[in-house]
Structure 1
Amino acid sequence: MAKLKPPLSDLPIKTAESGFYSGFSLDVTVTSKLAVGGLVLWAVAFPDQAGAVLGGLNTFILANFASWYIYLMALFVVVCLALAIWPAAGKLKLGHDDEKPEFDNFSWFSMMFGAGIGVGMLTWAVAEPIYHFRTNPDVILGQATAEGMDNFLNAYKWSYLHWGFSAWSSYAIAGLALGYFTYRRGLPLTIRSSLTPLFGKALSGPLGHLVDIVAVIATILGVAQTLGFGVEQFVAGMSKIGVGAWLVNEEGNASTAGIIVAIIIIMGASTLSALSGVGKGIKWLSNINMGLSIFLLAFLMIFGSTWFGMQALFMGTLNYLISLPEMLFTVYRSDGTEPSAALSGWQGGWTVFYWAWWVAFAPFVGLFLARISRGRTIREFVLGAMIVPSLMCFVWFSFAGGTAIDMELNGLANGAIFGSTDGAKIFTMTGIMLGDVLGWIMAVIIVILLMTYLVTSADSAVLIVNTINAAGDEGPKARPHIIFWGVSLGLVVAALLLVGGLTAIQTAMVIGALPFSVVMVLMCLGLFKAIYRDGLRNRQGVQSVTVDIPAAE
């Protein structure tokens, strides 16, 4: 066998040397801005056409790509487990072979906890188990009773599927690819670097630009989906604490005025936060976020339905693990019969939607995971990133959702939680538990917590988009670009909500995630090729790590 050369460790990406776009890749930045700006203008100028086209594309994707998304996420789980088990891969570090982890285990797990307990928890930890308690594939197939105790654990099996190992395996793939090629090979901290084993220096040109553009658009639409849910819940909370009935319409959803006010508040705060970098303001905000999260979870564990929550956590997790292989690989296809159509519709509306959402979120969360995991082995990273955040999600779902289900079963809620909008369910539940005065105080606390989640999610997304646009440079970014992406993100959410509500954002996100899902498959191939060839290099005595150990601070 011919002796291998050291791996590629130089991937020049042309950036502007002066002017408004100094330090930014013109090809990536301008194209991304035009694409996102075009989407906003189209949705605002031609709302009926935009709604119809997005709806048609959504129908087409669900009919033709549902199985792609199902098998894609199954692939990510298999790849993560394979990398953890593979001896040659598991021992390799995201960094120099002698490098120590940048953060101790407690700090590392805490930061992953922060990433795992996002704004989606406040909506779906109550709303999703309640929904699946009423209907899920087991109910559709006649194997369980809607709203019956025989369906209790099924509600958690399906909830855990969407927020457990599958979701975090997609983040782990993105994070591992970014960490491996940035911290072992010194390549730019940007998406294209993860494909260098497949395409080499060609990624310096148009092909690499295309990869980064796809990642930027997927990130914007993925975060827009999160903010869309957050805006609906923020408006529901503001209405609950008495800011004004004009915030919601007759159906209980956010009104046009409510959406606009919420977007201005959230994105204004997020843009200011992004402009401040990682100063005292963001640190203060993060401390409030963590403190309120622990308080709310402790409240639900102590004063909620503790026994139901324990059952959901332990028995639900066991049921999930036993059922996981079947759930991962099952694709429901409509054959013209009513049950098959119901199963296909359920999977498209829940599982396929979630898988697209997590793929769109992967550049954002993956880059964060990579940045906090330098010095970790691949085995540590994969198992830590898959298991720890998943367990945190399970705890939230079990005690928040378990309390809601118990309250409906024993008649205390009397259908009120079932009848609330998804965003309002947590406010309805805590209001029934605590009464008017204490319920109002808890609603204020949840609104503040929601605000901190939304602000930290949005400002992080803006900074990460700018990192990709700046060819992986994490340094200070020009203020006008931060303001542009902050405003653009707000406009995307507002325009799509006004055109077709959350369904329009969901559709745009599913469409935007599709090209990036192809990039993620290539990431898997690139990782396996790089790790295999690095093993050969080590046996031949050829250098496989091309970065130096960072100097101690």
Structure 2
Amino acid sequence: MSKIRKLKPPLTELDINTKDGGFYNGFSTAVAVPAKIIISILVVWAIFWPIQSGAVLNGFNAFILQNFAAWYIWVVAFFIVVCFVLAVWPAAGRLNLGLDHEKPEFSNFSWFSMMFGAGIGVGMLTWAVAEPVSHFGSNPETIMGLTTGGAADNVRMAYKWSFLHWGFSAWACYAICGLSLAFFSYRRGLPLTIRSGLTPLFGQSLAGILGHVIDVVAVVATILGVAQTLGFGVDQFVAGLSRIGIGGLADAEGAATTTGIIIALTVIMGLSTLSALSGVGKGIKWLSNINMALSIVLLGFFIIFGATWFGFNAMFIGLWDYVLALPELSLTVFRSDGVEGSESFLLAQWQGWWPVFYWAWWIAFAPFVGLFLARISRGRTIREFVLGALIVPALMCFVWFAWAGGTAIDLELNGAANGVIFDAANGDKIFAMTEFMLSPISEWLAWGMALLIVVLLMTFLVTSADSAVLIVNTINAAGDEGPKSRPHILFWGVALALVVAGLLISGGTTAIQTAMVIGALPFSVVMALMAIALLKAIYNDTRREKAGVPTTHDNIEGATGNGLAPGLGVPAE
């Protein structure tokens, strides 16, 4: 018998032990309980021993940046390559992320809205202005003396690096996770949880301790990744509330006070919990559509009334520079010579502050966004998923950076703003810019724009938080999306708020960044294995199709007695 004829159907059952009753009814206590313990310890440690926890976290962070910076850079480059291969590989691209007859549940507009809102939409309101401005002042080219910080010759470099951090690399991380989960859950019938993506490599052993550890790592990474997003968002939300006249929430330097943090998190997490209880098809879908519509209004304002031509040039010239430089930018690792202040030291330090931090953020965010993308992408082909999830949201990010950030740079370059935007805190820059643009026309118009940004920011934050709570519960429930997970929505909503509050109060956003970089490291290994497993599974499925062996769970379940080769009913990769 030929090698092809000996192929057996893929694994379509993974029996993860869950509780049959009690508080944890329907949940895998081997995942839910350890994850809750780890997060609880982190919260208590950060709040009650802030100095000790800060010192330990910073020590771990320095160790990771010194020893694993190259790993973060190269593993994300690997994710981009895998996405490209899957999109252009004919046998892979045509596969449905579901059964062959299934169609998408959501329209393209809702699909893109939910992807962008749950992915990195909230980051646009902080970093679309702040990041181009920051790179305009300093980047590797300025460190090497090739361009001048704050001068016109540095504009293109500012956009090249901004596009790198928020472009295809970020969405490749999300796409790998989402593709893996959708493929193995909806085609293979496996549980909608992270461990299912590794079945081609580890098989039934994932039903035990190995699988539990993988899912716990995913839950912790998700909480820390979303905490990072909420941490930035809370600072900006408080800045926005101050701009519309709600005082007492920020100190003299514009940083959120403890009272401001608590009030902001109470509003955001309260609304997000209510939205999560209504599910993806109702609350999250409508919130995503609302924030997409408000985003278009705000972006339209920058394009029409901001630096229109400057933004146009930044968009297309920056995109050209970015695409041409992407291979080099994705693989270059700056190594320090250990001499503080030297060029190599500064380059390595800059890479740790920016690309390594971002890659850790996107990897930590990937279990949440990936599982969410899988849930809303059932019925789409792999090629459609890759092109939709990789290109469209990335282009939306580029447009935001080009016109929002471009307007800020142009106003400062021509001397009109005179430091008003550059001197503002990162979260306050977009408010400072819109106020500068609109106050001469009407104070009420400036106030109204600040209110619109606050509402938009709140909807983005609520969408991210409620999606994260649902995703964590799905992982804890061994992939079950049913109503039995709903009593735990309240727990994870409170837990997420406490993680953000504890780390912000004890060490600010730096503490969250450090915890997130550390938490992302083990999950980056899981994601690399997921990418390898996905390639292996699709390759084996192409061989199965040639041999007439079923590849989807509905066909495998009906294969017994169909005259197929002996042993066909024994699952194996």
TM-score, normalised on structure 1? Answer: 0.96
Equivalent of residue 160 in structure 2, options 119, 133, 157: 157
- Can you list the C-alpha shifts for 1:443-483, whole angstroms capped at 9, x where unaligned? 11111111111111111100110011011011114444111
In structure 2, what is the equivalent of residue 324 of structure 1? 326
CA contact (8 A) 1:178 1:367 kept: yes
- Give, in whole Å, the separation in 2 of the partners of 1:88 and 1:224: 38
Q: Deviation at 1:153?
A: 1.1
The correspondence for 2:419, drawn from 395, 415, 418, is: 415
Provide the secondary structure at the position in 2 that maps to 1:417.
coil
Q: What is the CA-CA distance between 1:283 and the residue it aligns to?
A: 5.2
Q: What corresponds to 2:491 in structure 1?
A: 484
Give the corresponding residue for 2:450: 443
SS class of match (2:203): helix
Deviation, 1:99, is: 3.5
| Residue 474 (str. 1) matches residue 477 (str. 2) | no
1:343-362 matched pairs, under 5 angstroms: 343-362=347-366
Spell out, residue by residue over 1:112-161, the C-alpha distance to the aligned partner (whole angstroms, 9 max, x if none): 34445511110000000000000000111111111111111110100000
SS of aligned partner of 2:553: coil
Q: 1:452 to 1:105 in 2, by over 3 A?
A: closer
Partner of 1:84: 87
- Which letter maps to 1:253? A
**Matched residue type, 2:50:** P
Distance 1:410 1:368, change over 3 A: same
| One-letter amino acid of the structure 2 residue matched with residue 294 of structure 1 | I
- CA–CA distance in 1 between the matches of 2:345 and 2:400? 32
Is 1:304 the counterpart of 2:303? The answer is no
Question: What is the Cα deviation at residue 207 of structure 1?
Answer: 0.6
Q: Identify the residue that residue 257 of structure 1 maps to in structure 2.
A: 259
The structural deviation recorded for 1:437 is 2.7
For the residues of structure 1 that align with 2:312 and 2:204, how far apart are their CA atoms?
Answer: 53
* Identical-pair percentage: 69
Q: How far 1:79 sits from its partner (Å)?
A: 1.0
Measure the CA separation in 1 of the matches of 2:281 and 2:188. 30
Q: Is 436-445 or 468-477 further displaced after alignment? A: 436-445
1:7-406 alignment to 2 at 5 Å? 7-116=10-119, 118-244=121-247, 246-278=248-280, 282=284, 284-337=286-339, 338-406=342-410
Contact 2:236 2:428 in 1 (8 A): yes
Q: What is the deviation of 1:280?
A: 5.8
Structure 1 residues 424-450: Cα deviation after superposition (integer angstroms, max 9, x where no partner):
000000000000332111111111111
Tell me what 1:454 maps to: 461
AA in 2 matched with 1:316: G
Whether the 8 Å CA contact 1:96–1:548 is kept in 2: the answer is no
1:287 CA drift (Å): 4.1
Match in the other structure for 2:564: none
DSSP 3-state at the match of 1:418: coil
SS across alignment from 2:433: helix
Provide structure 2 residue ranges, at least 5 long, that are not aligned to the other structure. 557-573
* CA distance in 1: counterparts of 2:444 and 2:477, whole angstroms: 50
Structure 1's unaligned 5+ residue stretches are none
Q: Distance between the aligned counterparts of 2:403 and 2:18, measured in 1?
A: 49
Q: 1:432 and 1:332, CA in 2 relative to 1: closer, same or farther beyond 3 A? A: same
Contact 2:110 2:288 in 1 (8 A): no
Partners of 1:223 and 1:117 in 2: how far apart?
A: 10
Equivalent AA in structure 1 for residue 326 of structure 2: L
Which sits farther off after the overlay, 88-97 or 259-268?
88-97
Q: Deviations over 1:403-443 (max 9, x none)?
A: 00001011111011111110000000000000033211111
Tell me whether 1:430 sits opposite 2:434 in the alignment.
yes
Q: Distance in 1 between matches of 2:108 and 2:449?
A: 33
Change (3 A) 1:116 1:214: closer
431 and 110 in structure 1: CA distance in 2 versus 1, 3 angstrom threshold: same
CA distance in 2, matches of 1:430, 1:340: 38
Residue 249 of structure 2 aligns to which amino acid in structure 1? L
User: Quick check: 261-270 or 16-25, which moved more?
Assistant: 261-270
Please, what is the CA RMSD of the aligned residues?
1.6
* TM-superposed deviation, 1:285: 3.6
Q: Is the 8 A contact 2:113 2:292 kept in 1?
A: no
Query: In the superposition, relative to structure 1, how do residues 95 and 275 fare at CA in structure 2: closer, same or farther (>3 Å)?
Result: closer
